[in-house]
């Protein structure tokens, strides 16, 4: 839509350029007589209006090549054009003023219709470009917000659950309660360990046996010996 609006602004600039040159040539009587048009009186007003139209033509041409100016200038120029065309048709058809010849009326009527078509086309295209720009801006804002949210999710630290934290949650406790308990294994008691009896030596040396017999004989003699009488 925006390229069409640029083309329309170029056409508008050429139209304004033609009218500007025509009004600047107001003092040139031969041109107006050849076109069967009525000259503006005084000529100074016609020339001043022609200079204004030339300035508008330059502004429209500049807006066609500068994206920031395309939408506002195109919309404003469209409204000015169709209003000017309606005024021309009202004065020429309704009020019959100024009184023009056949060719002059035909040219003026065609110019009025051309201005109405050009103006309404510019207004519609400017509105379409504005709506599309709003939609693109909304989508861009949504994408920017989604990217910001995703970045925040990537940057936030990861929290790991502590051991036993699942039991602290209500649904975690219920799950632990529903889990079947493991069967208890019977305790096996180990038998007490007793020191093993040391068996007597199966065989001993003869010297050890004789020493043992001598000690036993000494004990017996000591037990049979008479005890001294107790005194006092």
Q: Which of 92, 96, 126 is nearest to 109 (CA)?
A: 92
Is pLDDT of 232 > 50? no
Is pLDDT of 88 > 50? yes
The reply to whether the predicted model has a pTM over 0.75 is no
Omega of the bond leading into 98 within 30 degrees of 0 (cis): yes
Report pLDDT for 36: 73
Rounded distance, CA 36 to CA 105, Å? Answer: 9
Q: What is the mean pLDDT of residues 72-99?
A: 86
Q: What are the residues whose beta carbons fall under 8 Å from the beta carbon of 151, sequence distance 6 or more?
A: none
147 vs 63, higher pLDDT = 63
Q: What is the mean pLDDT of residues 20-43?
A: 84
Alpha-carbon distances, residue 161 vs 108, 175, 176, 194 (angstroms): 85, 17, 17, 52
Q: What is the mean pLDDT of residues 103-120?
A: 86
Residue 161: pLDDT band (50, 70, 90) is low
Mean pLDDT of the chain: 76
Report pLDDT for 149: 77
Measured in whole angstroms, the distance separating CA 59 from the mean position of its chain's CA atoms is: 37
Q: What is the mean pLDDT of residues 41-69?
A: 90
Report pLDDT for 197: 45
Is pLDDT of 180 > 70? no
Which stretch, 73-82, 98-107, 134-143, 220-229, has highest mean pLDDT? 73-82
State the DSSP code for 91: I
User: Which has the minimum average pLDDT: 22-26, 127-131, 188-192?
Assistant: 188-192
Is pLDDT of 48 > 80? yes
Q: What is the mean pLDDT of residues 125-152?
A: 78
Cβ atoms of 57 and 84 within 8 Å: the answer is no
Is pLDDT of 38 > 70? yes
pLDDT tens per residue across span 195-210: 444 444 444 466 767 7
Omega of the bond leading into 161 within 30 degrees of 0 (cis): no
Report pLDDT for 229: 56
Report pLDDT for 143: 75
Report pLDDT for 11: 92
Residue boundaries of the structural domains of the chain: 2-145
User: Which has the minimum average pLDDT: 49-53, 118-122, 185-189?
Assistant: 185-189
Rounded distance, CA 37 to CA 107, Å? Answer: 9
Q: What φ, ψ does residue 101 adopt, rounded to 5°?
A: -75, -175
Cβ atoms of 42 and 65 within 8 Å: the answer is no
């Amino acid at each position: 839509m925006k390229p069409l609006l640029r083309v329309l602004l170029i056409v508008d600039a050429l139209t304004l350029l033609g009218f500007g040159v025509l009004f600047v040539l107001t003092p040139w009587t031969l041109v107006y007589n050849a076109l069967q048009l009525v000259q503006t009186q005084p000529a100074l007003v016609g020339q001043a209006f022609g200079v204004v139209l030339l300035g508008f033509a330059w502004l429209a041409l500049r807006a066609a090549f500068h994206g920031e100016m395309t939408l506002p200038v195109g919309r404003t120029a469209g409204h000015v054009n169709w209003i000017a065309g309606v005024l021309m048709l009202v004065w020429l058809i309704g009020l019959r003023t100024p009184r023009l010849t056949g060719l002059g009326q035909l040219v003026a009527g065609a110019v009025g219709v051309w201005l109405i078509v050009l103006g309404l086309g510019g207004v519609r295209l400017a509105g379409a470009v504005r709506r599309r720009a709003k939609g693109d801006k909304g989508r861009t804002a949504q994408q920017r917000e989604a990217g910001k949210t995703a970045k925040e999710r990537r940057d936030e630290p990861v929290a790991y659950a502590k051991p036993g934290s699942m039991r602290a949650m209500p649904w975690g406790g219920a799950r632990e309660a529903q889990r079947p308990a493991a069967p208890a294994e019977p305790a096996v008691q180990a038998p007490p360990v007793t020191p093993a009896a040391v068996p007597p030596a199966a065989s001993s040396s003869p010297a050890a046996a004789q020493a043992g017999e001598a000690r036993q004989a000494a004990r017996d003699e000591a037990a049979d010996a008479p005890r001294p009488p107790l005194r006092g």
